[in-house]
Amino acid sequence: MVADGQALLKIGELAKRTDKTVRALHLYEERGLIEPAERTKGGFRQYDAANVARIEYIDRLQLLGLSLNDIRALLQSWSGHETPRAAMGELSARYERRLTEVRHTIRELQRIEGELSAALGFLSGCAGCPKTTTPAEGCRDCARSEQQAAVPLVAGLTGG
């Protein structure tokens, strides 16, 4: 079928086009994230290009860390505003909050990266360790114990 000059898609075709499962698309519809453009006389759902774009948008928002509930709230908020300006202002505020969260997460991940790099650098020096005792005994008495104390991902294990 064709609506407004656009070919309509059955749910299986929409799933293939958007790399989603039919089950995921049914979930999106149940949550109010998408809706069929029309139904056939037999009651089958048919979807248009706007649904494809909406699913791609949902994918992007999920990459930003938003849950389906967050996305539903965003879409409801968007359509609940009286003017486009108000809707854009709300969307901008939501994106600003998410950007702040993402920047915080990036800083945390960079800190973790530094700790992991330091731990790996320290541990590479253990490859030639001549001690044959248990790690609990040998690492505690290691000549590098002062260095261990500066490496939290090692010191917490060895008691260094």
Domain contains 36: yes
Asked if residues 71 and 32 have their Cβ atoms less than 8 Å apart, the reply is no
The gap between the terminal CA atoms of the chain, to the nearest Å, is: 71
Domain contains 112: no
One digit per residue, the tens of pLDDT, for the chain of length 160 reads 555 557 899 999 999 999 999 999 999 999 999 999 999 899 899 999 999 999 999 999 999 889 999 999 999 988 888 999 999 999 999 999 999 999 999 999 999 999 999 999 888 888 888 877 777 776 777 777 778 778 888 877 776 5
Domain contains 130: no
The whole-number pLDDT of residue 53 equals 97
Q: How far apart are CA 33 and CA 68, in angstroms?
A: 8
Please report the DSSP string for 14-69 in residue order.
HHHHHT--HHHHHHHHHTTS---SEE-TT--EEB-HHHHHHHHHHHHHHHTT--HH
Q: How far apart are CA 60 and CA 26, in angstroms?
A: 19
Instruction: Name the residue range of residue 39's domain.
Output: 1-72
Domain contains 58: yes
Domain contains 19: yes
Q: pTM for the full model?
A: 0.70
Q: How far apart are CA 138 and CA 157, in angstroms?
A: 12
Domain of residue 22, CATH code:
1.10.1660.10
Domain contains 104: no
Q: Name the domain count of the chain.
A: 1
The whole-number pLDDT of residue 148 equals 76
